[in-house]
Amino acid sequence: MITVAGFNTAIDRFIQLEALNPGEVHRVQVEHVYPGGKGVHVAQTIAALGERVQLIGLVDATHRALIDRRMRERGVAFHGVDVGGELRHCLALRDARGTITEILGQGPELLRSECEALLEHFRRSIDESELVILCGSLPRGLTATVYAGLVEYARQRGKRCLVDASGDAMRHAIDAKPFMVKPNRDEISEWIGQPVNDLLAAERAAVALRERGVAVPVVTMGELGAVAADESGVWHAQGSSIRVRNSVGSGDCFLAGFAVALKRNMPLDEALRLAVASGMANAQTEETGFAERSSVESLLPSVKVSRLREPEKAHSTSPR
């Protein structure tokens, strides 16, 4: 079992427009509405890849039936914590050129009792899990140190913990030394304090995270692929050119593929291959944050993986 703490559930709305021109009236050409948020995207892709998964997140009265039905259809055990406010809404607007503009809503300010209910659901849910994933933004009302505390809680119970967050939540989580973190190019640049624009900089960033006690750091670099490090060295993976229809959520599907590979004890190079193929599979579809297993498997041979640094040159920190 893999447990996903994707607390800040959203309603994703994907809209196709001819063009996006500020100040003008626009007519929608295509519109899709899905349950969303990073946790939903990660969990449903893990299930699609064939692993048992449960998701802990917010739900409101208006959208409970929609979310319960979709998660049931996708094979995800959803543990929804009811909130009085309305879930956040996230818009992805794509014009005829393929340019996507995202607008991410804030969501409700949680009461103290709602915050406690989320954390209690998490604590009750991880005992049967082999992997724990903390991902996405935190709902308003939870502090930036929450993920760090949950990393420590999972470690005390012998669980490997993966974190995909940003800003202060990611910084505090790194200090807690999770098993794996997955910053993107912008997030790792913020953490280091200087731009990470090429593979050499990504390699150095991954090694720096290893030196801070993260067993398996992964840095995603957009079109440049992804770089990851462990005791076997530093590896780079990059997919071939594909027709991109909707890239929103590809990083979430990448994380899902990587988590599945860890669950199956695959070596780092093969974990990166599965992760990159999962992200590519999402980008080829209209839906935000979902990768079909058949699509992922068809893309695996097109992912090129190479070692950037040999084991003796990589930091030797043991997984905690």
286 contacts 246 by C-beta, under 8 angstroms: yes
Residue 70: which of 42, 40, 111, 91 has the closest Cα? Answer: 40
CA 99, 103, 104: angle at the middle one, nearest 5? 135
Residue 242: which of 303, 166, 307, 160 has the closest Cα? Answer: 303
Contact residues for 189 (Cβ-Cβ < 8 A; gap 6+): 195, 196
| CA separation for the pair 104, 6 (Å, rounded) | 15
Tokens of 74: 């996708």
Which residue type occupies 292?
E
Tokens of 217: 């750091």
DSSP per-residue string spanning 55-93: EEEEE-TTTHHHHHHHHHHTT-EEEEEE-SSPPEEEEEE
Catalytic positions, please? 252
Tokens of 292: 């079909």
Helix intervals (H) in 62-198: 64-73, 112-125, 146-156, 167-175, 185-192
Contact residues for 317 (Cβ-Cβ < 8 A; gap 6+): 210, 211, 213, 215
| CA separation for the pair 274, 301 (Å, rounded) | 10
Tokens of 303: 């992912």
Which residue type occupies 301?
P
102 contacts 91 by C-beta, under 8 angstroms: yes
| CA separation for the pair 113, 94 (Å, rounded) | 38
